[in-house]
C-alpha cells in the first residue's frame, strides 16, 4: 500500500503547519475601491472593457441582489459578512489581459510552482516554448493526451492559460471568461446565466454582479478533448472576495474532462469565495468535472479560513448527455455547495461523487441536486463524509422527479464516518417523486471506525495512524476511483493530512 505509506510520511513531515499552501505571494496588486455599489460594478466591467449588454446584466443582478437576504437554512453558522468592507477586484499589476507565458510575472509563476503547478516547465516539457512559436508537437497531436491544460486564476484575474494553441487546433476554446466575452460574444451571450439564472440565490446573484474572471470552455461538435482541462484558483490578496465564473459548453457528441483546484494563504480573517459554475451538455455530450477544494480551512480554533459559497450546476440539455461531478472537499472554514444536474434531455445521466473531510472547526453543508425532467433519466449519488475534531459535516441532497420523467432512476448512498466524539455528521436527503414509473433508492449510514477493523489492522503490525489511514482510504475508495489519475494520488495524501491530529 504505497499510497497509505506515503500518507503517513507526508503527515509526519508536516510538523506544525498542516496547511502547506498557506504562504502569501508578495506582488504588486491593483485594487478597486472597497465596497459594493453600482460604481464598483461599472469599474469591474470597464476594467474588462465589456460590452454594454454585460454591464447592464451585471447592474440588473446588483439591483436584484440589493433586495435579497442572506439565506439561513444551511447547517452552517458564521457572522454576518460586511460586504461593504470587501475588495471586489484585485489583480496583479503586471498582468493586464491574457499573455504568453514568457511575459507572465516570474513571481506569479513561482507561486504556481510552489503550489505544485509549474506552468512554464509544463509547457517547455511539452515542447511549447512560447505561445506564439510553433510547437514541436504540432504534427503529433495525439501525444497531448495525458497532459493538462491549465487556466491559472490569481485573485480576480486569469493570469495565463496554457496549451491554448494546441487546443485551438481541435476547435476547442479554452480561455478566461473575460477573453471569451470579446472573442466569442455570441457563445457567452447565449449560455451565460442560462443554467444558473441571475436571480438563482443570494451568492449567485452577488457573483453575477461582480464576477471578475474564470474559465470558458467550448468543445465543438464531435470533438473529444485530447487532454484534461483545468483551472487553478488562488486567493492571495487580503480582504478580497473571489467571484469567479466558469462556463463550459460541450456541443453535440463531444467530451471533456475538467479539473479544478483551489488554495489560499493562511490568515486570521475569513475570506469570501462565491463562484458560479455552469455546465451545458448538448446531445450525446459528456462533461466530467472534478474538484479538489483545498482552500485554507482556518486554524484548529476556527480562526480564519475561506467561506466557500459556490453555486455549481450542470444542464444535460441534449438527449443522451451526461454530466458527472466528482469533488474532494478538504478545505474551507465553511463549505456550502451543491453541484447539481438538471436532467432535461431524455436518456440523460447525472452523477455525483463526493468526499467531504472536515477537521478542526470546519463546517460543511454540501450535497447535490438531481432534477429529473426527461424520460429514462438516471442519476447516481455517492457521498462520503468524514468528520473529525470539532467539525460538522452535513450531506444535503435533493432528488426530484417531475411528472413526465418516466422511468427515472436514482440511487443514492451517503455514508458518514465520525472520528472523535466532538464532531457531528448529518444527512438530510429530500426525495420528491411525481412519477409512478420512477424508481428511487436512498441509503445512508453513520458510524465510526469499528474496534474490530482497528484490531484487525493493529494485530497485523500496522500502527494506529497507518490503520486509520488505511481504513479511511478504503471508506472513500468508491469515490477516489472516479477521480482522474492525476488527482487520485494527491487526494489520498490530502486525506491523511486533513485528518492529522484526529487520531488517538
- DSSP H or E segment with residue 56: helix 52-65
> Cell numbers at residue 429, please?
436527503
- DSSP H or E segment with residue 396: strand 392-401
246, 327, 257: which is closest to 286 by C-alpha?
Answer: 257
Beta strand pairing call for 148-154 and 157-161: antiparallel
Q: Residue from 104, 250, 272, 423 that binds another protein (CB under 8 A)?
A: 423
Residue closer to another protein (CB basis): 190 or 422: 422
Check if the beta carbon of residue 313 is closer than 8 Å to that of residue 343. Answer: no
416, 409, 401, 333: which is closest to 367 by C-alpha?
Answer: 416
Q: Residue from 422, 455, 456, 481 that binds another protein (CB under 8 A)?
A: 422
Question: Measured between alpha carbons, how far is 134 from 370 in angstroms, rounded to an integer?
Answer: 45
Q: Residue from 140, 447, 463, 481 that binds another protein (CB under 8 A)?
A: 447
Number of residues that bind another protein (CB under 8 A): 44
Question: Measured between alpha carbons, how far is 132 from 429 in angstroms, rounded to an integer?
Answer: 51
Region 121-180 residues binding another protein, contact defined as CB under 8 A:
none
Q: Residue from 3, 14, 187, 444 that binds another protein (CB under 8 A)?
A: 444
| Closest approach of another protein to the CB of residue 423, in Å | 7
| Closest approach of another protein to the CB of residue 410, in Å | 9
416 is a site residue for another protein (CB under 8 A)? yes
476 is a site residue for another protein (CB under 8 A)? no
Question: Measured between alpha carbons, how far is 266 from 235 in angstroms, rounded to an integer?
Answer: 10
425 is a site residue for another protein (CB under 8 A)? yes
| Interface region with another protein, contact rule CB under 8 A, candidates 117-125, 181-189, 339-347, 444-452 | 444-452
| Closest approach of another protein to the CB of residue 430, in Å | 5
Residue closer to another protein (CB basis): 53 or 430: 430
| Interface region with another protein, contact rule CB under 8 A, candidates 147-155, 172-180, 436-444, 474-482 | 436-444
Q: Residue from 85, 432, 455, 456 that binds another protein (CB under 8 A)?
A: 432
Q: Residue from 200, 221, 238, 478 that binds another protein (CB under 8 A)?
A: 200
> Cell numbers at residue 372, please?
429529473
Q: Residue from 2, 13, 26, 436 that binds another protein (CB under 8 A)?
A: 436
Question: Measured between alpha carbons, how far is 206 from 255 in angstroms, rounded to an integer?
Answer: 31
- DSSP H or E segment with residue 276: strand 276-281
Q: Residue from 169, 190, 434, 477 that binds another protein (CB under 8 A)?
A: 434
| Interface region with another protein, contact rule CB under 8 A, candidates 187-195, 286-294, 320-328, 439-447 | 439-447
Residues 6+ apart with CB under 8 A from 453: 467, 471
461 is a site residue for another protein (CB under 8 A)? no
Check if the beta carbon of residue 331 is closer than 8 Å to that of residue 262. Answer: yes
Cell 490578496 maps to which residue?
237
Question: Measured between alpha carbons, how far is 130 from 310 in angstroms, rounded to an integer?
Answer: 35
Q: Residue from 127, 220, 424, 501 that binds another protein (CB under 8 A)?
A: 424
Residue closer to another protein (CB basis): 281 or 469: 469
Give DSSP secondary structure letters for 432-474.
Answer: EE--TT-EEEEEEEEEE--HHHHHHHHTTT--HHHHHHHHHHH
443 is a site residue for another protein (CB under 8 A)? yes
Cell 461599472 maps to which residue?
42
| Closest approach of another protein to the CB of residue 145, in Å | 41
CA angle 250, 253, 257 (to 5 degrees): 50
70 is a site residue for another protein (CB under 8 A)? yes
Q: Residue from 10, 94, 435, 453 that binds another protein (CB under 8 A)?
A: 435
Region 352-411 residues binding another protein, contact defined as CB under 8 A:
403
Q: Residue from 15, 16, 69, 139 that binds another protein (CB under 8 A)?
A: 69
Check if the beta carbon of residue 481 is closer than 8 Å to that of residue 489. Answer: no
488 is a site residue for another protein (CB under 8 A)? no
Interface residue list for another protein (CB under 8 A): 64, 67-71, 73, 199-202, 403, 416, 418-448
Amino acid at each position: 500500500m504505497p499510497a497509505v505509506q506515503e500518507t503517513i510520511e507526508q503527515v509526519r513531515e508536516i510538523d506544525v503547519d498542516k496547511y502547506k499552501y498557506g504562504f502569501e505571494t508578495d506582488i504588486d496588486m491593483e485594487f478597486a475601491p472597497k465596497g459594493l455599489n453600482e460604481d464598483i460594478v461599472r469599474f469591474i466591467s470597464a476594467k474588462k472593457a465589456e460590452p454594454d449588454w454585460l454591464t447592464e446584466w451585471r447592474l440588473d443582478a446588483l439591483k436584484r441582489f440589493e433586495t435579497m437576504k442572506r439565506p439561513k437554512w444551511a447547517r452552517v453558522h458564521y457572522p454576518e459578512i460586511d460586504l461593504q468592507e470587501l475588495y471586489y477586484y484585485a489583480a496583479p499589476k503586471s498582468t493586464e489581459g491574457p499573455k504568453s507565458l514568457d511575459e507572465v510575472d516570474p513571481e506569479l509563476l513561482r507561486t504556481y510552482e510552489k503550489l505544485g503547478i509549474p506552468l512554464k516547465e509544463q509547457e517547455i516539457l511539452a515542447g511549447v516554448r512560447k505561445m506564439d512559436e510553433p510547437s514541436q508537437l504540432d504534427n503529433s497531436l495525439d501525444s497531448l493526451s495525458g497532459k493538462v491544460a491549465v487556466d491559472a486564476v490569481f485573485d480576480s484575474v486569469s493570469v495565463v492559460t496554457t496549451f491554448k494553441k494546441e487546443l485551438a487546433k481541435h476547435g476547442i476554446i479554452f480561455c478566461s471568461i473575460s477573453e471569451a466575452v470579446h472573442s466569442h460574444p455570441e457563445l457567452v451571450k447565449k449560455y451565460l446565466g442560462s443554467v444558473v439564472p441571475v436571480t438563482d440565490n443570494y451568492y449567485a446573484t452577488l457573483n453575477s454582479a461582480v464576477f471578475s474572471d474564470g474559465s470558458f470552455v467550448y468543445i465543438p461538435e464531435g470533438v473529444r478533448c485530447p487532454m484534461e482541462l483545468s483551472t487553478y484558483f488562488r486567493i492571495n490578496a487580503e480582504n478580497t472576495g473571489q467571484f469567479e465564473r466558469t462556463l463550459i459548453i460541450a456541443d453535440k457528441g463531444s467530451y471533456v474532462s475538467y479539473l479544478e483546484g483551489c488554495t489560499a494563504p493562511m490568515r486570521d480573517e475569513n475570506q469570501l469565495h462565491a463562484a458560479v459554475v455552469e455546465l451545458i451538455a448538448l446531445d450525446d455530450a459528456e462533461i466530467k468535472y472534478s474538484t479538489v477544494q483545498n482552500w485554507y480551512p482556518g486554524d484548529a480554533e476556527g480562526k480564519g479560513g475561506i467561506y466557500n459559497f459556490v453555486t455549481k450546476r450542470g444542464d444535460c440539455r441534449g438527449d443522451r448527455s451526461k454530466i458527472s461531478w466528482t469533488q474532494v472537499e478538504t478545505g474551507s472554514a465553511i463549505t456550502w455547495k451543491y453541484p447539481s444536474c438538471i436532467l432535461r434531455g431524455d436518456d440523460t445521466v447525472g452523477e455525483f461523487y463526493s468526499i467531504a473531510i472536515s477537521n478542526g472547526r470546519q463546517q460543511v453543508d454540501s450535497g447535490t441536486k438531481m432534477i429529473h425532467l426527461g424520460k429514462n433519466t438516471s442519476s447516481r449519488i455517492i457521498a462520503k463524509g468524514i468528520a473529525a475534531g470539532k467539525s460538522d459535516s452535513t450531506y444535503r441532497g435533493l432528488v426530484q422527479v417531475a411528472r413526465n420523467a418516466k422511468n427515472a432512476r436514482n440511487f443514492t448512498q451517503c455514508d458518514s464516518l465520525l472520528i472523535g466524539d466532538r464532531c457531528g455528521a448529518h444527512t438530510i436527503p429530500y426525495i420528491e417523486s411525481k412519477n409512478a414509473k420512477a424508481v428511487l433508492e436512498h441509503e445512508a449510514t453513520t458510524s465510526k471506525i469499528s474496534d474490530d477493523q482497528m484490531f484487525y489492522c493493529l494485530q497485523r503490525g500496522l500502527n494506529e495512524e497507518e490503520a486509520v489511514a488505511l481504513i479511511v482510504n478504503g471508506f472513500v475508495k468508491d469515490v477516489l476511483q472516479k477521480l482522474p489519475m492525476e488527482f487520485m494520488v494527491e487526494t489520498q495524501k490530502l486525506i491523511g493530512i486533513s485528518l492529522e491530529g484526529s487520531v488517538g
